[in-house]
Amino acid sequence: MVSLALEGVEARYGRKQILTDASTPEIEGGMLTALVGANAAGKSTLFRRIAGQLRGAGRVRLSGAEAGDLRYMPQDTAMSAALTVYESIILALKQGTGGWRLSPRELAAVDAVLHRFGIDHLAQRQLPELSGGQRQSVSIAQTLVTRPKLVLMDEPTSALDLYRQYEVLEALRRYAEETGAVVILALHDLNQVMRACTTTLALAEGRILATGPTLEVLTPALIRRLYGIDSRVERCSRGCPMMIVDGPAPHPPGQQVGT
C-alpha cells in the first residue's frame, strides 16, 4: 500500500508565500482523498509542490512508491495539437522512454484506460474537435495510463455532466482500490466529496486546516471557515450524508474568522 505525508511543506511564487507549514498525517492509498478549499486557497500550488514542479522548504514523504510514480493532472485541459485521442494517450505512456515502437502490451494499456473511462468511441478523434468534457476525460486517461501510484488531479470533474461525474469518480475509486494508489482530487462540490472520498484535506490561505475522515472534517464550522457559507450536514432518507446550503455567512471567504 502507498501512503503520503507532508511535513512542514512551503511554497512561494517569487516573494509571495502561497503555502505555509503544510503538514498532514499519513494519507493512505487505496481510496479517494479530497482536497477542498476556496479559490486561490493554494490547492494547485500544493499539487505542484508535491509533484516537484515547485521547490520550497519541508518534506513530501512518499512510501511504497517511487517519485517517478507520480502523475499530476492540471486544471487546464486545453489541448490543440494535431493528434488523435489515441496518440495523445500513447504520448503520456511513452513519455520519458526513448523507444519509438509500441509493444502489444503498451497498446493494450492504452485500450484499457480508454475503456476504463468510457471514451473508447473517442479514440480516433482529433484533439481540437473535442468538447470541454471530452477533453477532461481524455486528460484523466492520459494521467492514469502509466498506472501511477500517486495521482493528483485538479478538479477532474469540473467540465463533466452529472452522469459522467458519477462515472469518472466511480472509475477513479475503483482504480485506487485496485492499485492501492494515493489519489487526491481537488473538488468544489462537497456533496461529491462526501459521496466519493474517504479522506479530506481542507486548505485555506495556504494552510492545511484539517485532514481526516471526510465527515469528521467537513463540519458546518469548517465549511463556514473555508467558503463563508452557512450550511448543515444532514442524512438523506437513505442515510447518505448531504450538505445543505443555507446562505452566505456574515464573513466572506478568505477573511479570518474569529480574529
Q: Is 66 in the site for other proteins (CB under 8 A)?
A: no
Alpha carbon separation from 208 to 18, 91, 219, 228 (Å, rounded): 12, 35, 15, 17
- Per CB under 8 A, the segment of 2-10, 58-66, 115-123, 211-219 that binds other proteins is 115-123
> With respect to other proteins, which residue has the nearer C-beta, 123 or 242?
123
Among 2, 33, 42, 86, the residue binding other proteins under the rule CB under 8 A is 86
Site string for other proteins, 39-58 (x = CB under 8 A): ------------x-x-----
Among 16, 39, 98, 162, the residue binding other proteins under the rule CB under 8 A is 98
Q: Is 167 in the site for other proteins (CB under 8 A)?
A: no
Among 10, 21, 28, 87, the residue binding other proteins under the rule CB under 8 A is 87
How far is the C-alpha of 9 from the C-alpha of 23, rounded, in Å?
A: 6
Cβ(34)–Cβ(194) below 8 Å: no
Q: Is 172 in the site for other proteins (CB under 8 A)?
A: no
Alpha-carbon torsion 119, 124, 127, 129, what sign?
A: negative
Q: Is 72 in the site for other proteins (CB under 8 A)?
A: yes
Q: Is 88 in the site for other proteins (CB under 8 A)?
A: yes
Q: Is 239 in the site for other proteins (CB under 8 A)?
A: no
- Per CB under 8 A, the segment of 66-74, 166-174, 217-225, 228-236 that binds other proteins is 66-74
Cβ(149)–Cβ(65) below 8 Å: yes
Q: Is 20 in the site for other proteins (CB under 8 A)?
A: no
Q: Which residues bind other proteins (CB under 8 A)?
A: 51, 53, 68, 71-74, 76-84, 86-88, 90-92, 94-98, 100, 102, 104, 107-108, 110-112, 114-115, 120, 123-124, 126-129, 139, 142-143
